[in-house]
Structures are given as C-alpha cells and as structure tokens.
A = this chain, B = another copy of it.
Amino acid sequence: MTLLFPEDWIPQAVKTKLPDGYQIRPLDSNDYNRGFLQVLAVLTTVGEISERRFQEQYEYIKRARDTYYLIVVENDQGRIVGCGTLLVERKFIHTCGLVGHIEDIAIAKSEQGKKLGLRIIDALDGIAKEIGCYKNTLACAEHNQIFYEKCGYKRNSLEMGHYFQGPPSPIRNARI
C-alpha cells in the first residue's frame, strides 16, 4: 500500500463525521481492486483500464510535483464508494498564488444520501487551505449549485468546453 500523499493532510474534523466504519484517505496504489474506477463510472465513460495502466497513471501523478491530490471514501466493506480530485495550479497572478481545481467528484449510487460528497469537498478544501491555495474552483451543473453553496462555494462565471474528438458521452446529470 502506497498513499498518494500523507494521510494527515485530510482534516480530522472531516474524518469524524463519516458513517461508522467508513474512512476517507488519499488514493492508494491498490485501489484498482477496491472499485475506484467503478465509482468514477457514475460520472462518465471510464473505458478499459488495465491494472498496469492504472499503476502507471498512479505513479505519474504521484511523481508530478505537488500537483495531484486524489482522495477516496472506503466503506465498512473495504470498497471505494466515493472519490474526488484536487489539482493544484501554480500561477503568477496573486503573487505567484496557488489555485485548487476540484475535479471528478463521484459517489456510488448505492451510497448517496450519506453526505459523502460534502465530506469529500470539505476534505479537498482542507487540503487546499493547508497547501496555501487562495481559492478552490470547480465546474458543476446548474442543479448542483445549491449543494456547492452549502459547501461554501459561490457562483462565479461560466464553464465552457472545446471537444477535440467529439464529446466523450459524459453523463451530465450525475448528482452528488
């Protein structure tokens, strides 16, 4: 087992609010076999990813300099049931400031209603603050605006996309 980053970067206050037997922690090099990719499939197409390919991508993002913070929620059966990504960008503006990009928040359908999405956002916000980001930003569907407002987010602007190989069939109505 190799965690992507130190476990104690996740605020203790978030860990204690999880259902009994659940844990929230950094992505682990063995999470391929615990259902990590199946959780992501709630969001969009994941495609065929072999364990070797998963390991390569894991090693790549681990070696990238202080950039990727992927976390997962594991339930009391040892299965991954939620996940989220914080991508940290080094800017020149705001005195070489850091901005966190929240990406790919997913909760297994059978585990929704347990506030796991809120815990994941709170954890990623806590990590971003710890690292020194001046803000986190994310793109969300209109119907998720209220959820993110409860997490402390405010509506800023539009998110626009340019697809180079045709849209990869995202399931845009996925709910947190």
Contacts and interface: CB of A to CB of B under 8 A. Distances in A.
B161 A154 contact: yes
Given A153-B162, A158-B159, A161-B156, A168 B134 contact: yes
A157 B91 CA distance: 24
A104 interface: yes
Interface in A82-101: 85, 87, 89-97, 101
A5 interface: no
A136 to B, nearest CB: 5
Stoichiometry (number of copies): 2
Contact of A65 (B63, B101, B151, B167): B63
Interface stretch (A9-17, A18-26, A54-62, A108-116): A54-62
Contacts of A87: 87, 89, 101
A1 interface: no
Interface string A133-176: 11111111110010011011111111111111101100010000
A164 to B, nearest CB: 5
A37 interface: yes
A60 B164 contact: no
